[in-house]
Amino acid sequence: MTSKLAINGGPKAVSADDSEIFRWPIVTPEDEEAVLAVLRRGAMSGLDITYAFEGDLAQYFGLDYALCHNTGTAAIQAAMWACGVGVGDEVISQSLTYWGTSLQVFSLGGTVVFSEVIPETLTMDPADIEHRITERTKAIIPVHYCAYPTDMDPIMEIAEKHNLKVIEDVSHAQGGLYKGRLLGTIGHIGAMSIMSGKSLACGEGGFLVTADQELYERAVAFGHYSRTRDLESPELSPLAGMPLGGYKYRMHQLSSAVGRSQLKHYPERMAEIQRAMNHFWDLLDGVPGVVAHRPPQDSGSTMGGWYAAKGLYAPEELGGLPVARFCEAVTAECGQFKIMPGANPLMHLHPVLNDADVYGHGKPTRIANSNRDLRQPAGSLPVTEGLPGRIYSIPWFKHFDAEIIGQYATAFRKVAEHAEELQ
């Protein structure tokens, strides 16, 4: 019998030209002119465009302060320092994320303690936070992972109860909402990357936003030496002229120029991405083994630009078919987009978090920075550790094209309905 699956010789599900639907970022003559204007003025190392971009960002987020950085990693590190993280201190975050969420805590003399995530959302589980808080805990860093909004209300309640700061990592979710509120505005600081692959893209860069003047000024003092003379803090202003962190973290003005242009058009581009991605999941509603990774549509929460979009996999509904084999079969049905199993490597199992002596302490840095062994070996986060076999990438559509989206949905449905051919 002739197989219906492309991986076994059958026809592919995706036949349409998909070369444009995944192209990102969208670069227009407006972006090009913004960059050329900086070049023509010889203003690449200035600050005027960056100041203007920060004003745009503050207005977009509805907060008093925005501070641009050369990377999102730097923005999160500055946010940590602003929140008082130092030698021997701890931050709580999730293991299922990019290392830039928390690894830089090492440079401040602190360490990270990992909590579990909710399997349906892939975001921090508020119920697993409180028992991990110690007298050394300074901050909680929830990640709106793969654009899914973290359940922020209970996290903020925990933080208030224990006098902790909350740093939102919004790198995957610019423009997303949690119960109608913009992500990045709920915690004490929102920090994020806007490198060229992100939903809001500027080339290379990051920024933080906050309503708190003290936190803003501390972040300035940490990595922005040229701004320290403008600080009002009696603690920080006498130290003007040098960054307390010893870092030069300002954003390149070419990135600032691109960021201003991109932000201007981001709401409508984000809306189109949301329309496309929700249409994709609507087409797959009820397909066995395939579970949407998105908030309920009546929740007031949204996925922003859907960066690093994922799907959830239920192998028990497909006879135990491994996710890698499922992805291989779906990819065979598709055009240029490759469907990959899993997600970011789990941080708590990586040798850098367990074995590396980064600063020459004579013992692993994670131990040295806390004077006790906070390492979390295999088996310590069973929920998180069970997730790699239940996650896969999905097409990240940047435009709404019903034909192409429909064909990609057909690819997933086709493999799910004929999974027995892959056993």
Q: 138, 165, 198, 310: which is the annotated catalytic residue?
A: 198
Q: Which amino acid is at 44?
A: M
The strand ranges marked E within 183-308 are: 189-193, 206-210, 290-292
Looking at every residue in the chain, the average pLDDT score rounds to 96
| Closest by CA position to 259, among listed 54, 76, 100, 48 | 54
Q: What is the average per-residue pLDDT within 179-195? A: 98
Length of the chain: 423
Does the structure show a pLDDT above 90 at 420? yes
DSSP 341: B
pLDDT in tens, 314-327: 999 999 999 999 99
The strand ranges marked E within 120-164 are: 123-124, 137-141
Q: Domains of the chain (ranges plus CATH)?
A: 6-25+266-343+385-422 (3.90.1150.10), 29-261 (3.40.640.10)
- Taking the CA atoms of residue 59, residue 64, residue 70 and residue 75 in that order, the dihedral angle to the nearest 10 degrees is -130
Confidence class for position 371, pLDDT limits 50, 70, 90:
confident
**Residue found by looking up tokens 């508020």 in the block:** 126
How far apart (Å, rounded) are the C-alpha atoms in residues 422 and 114?
A: 36
| Closest by CA position to 76, among listed 213, 197, 222 | 222
Q: What is the average per-residue pLDDT within 296-317? A: 97
Q: What is the average per-residue pLDDT within 47-72? A: 98
What is the model's pLDDT at position 145?
98
Q: What is the pTM of this model?
A: 0.97
Q: Residue 361, Cα to own-chain centre: how many angstroms?
A: 31
Confidence class for position 423, pLDDT limits 50, 70, 90:
confident
pLDDT in tens, 115-139: 999 999 999 999 999 999 999 999 9
Classify 153 as helix, strand or coil: helix
- Residue 181's H or E segment, with its range, is strand 181-182
198 tagged catalytic: yes
Confidence class for position 300, pLDDT limits 50, 70, 90:
very high
DSSP 45: T
How far apart (Å, rounded) are the C-alpha atoms in residues 251 and 208?
A: 12
Does the structure show a pLDDT above 90 at 1? no
Classify 293 as helix, strand or coil: coil
Q: What phi and psi values does residue 105 have, to the nearest 5 degrees?
A: -60, -25
Confidence class for position 408, pLDDT limits 50, 70, 90:
very high
Which conformational region is residue 33 in: left (phi greater than 0), alpha (psi within -120 to 50 degrees), or beta? alpha
Q: What is the average per-residue pLDDT within 284-309? A: 97
How far apart (Å, rounded) are the C-alpha atoms in residues 188 and 209?
A: 9
pLDDT in tens, 140-177: 999 999 999 999 999 999 999 999 999 999 999 999 99
What is the model's pLDDT at position 229?
87
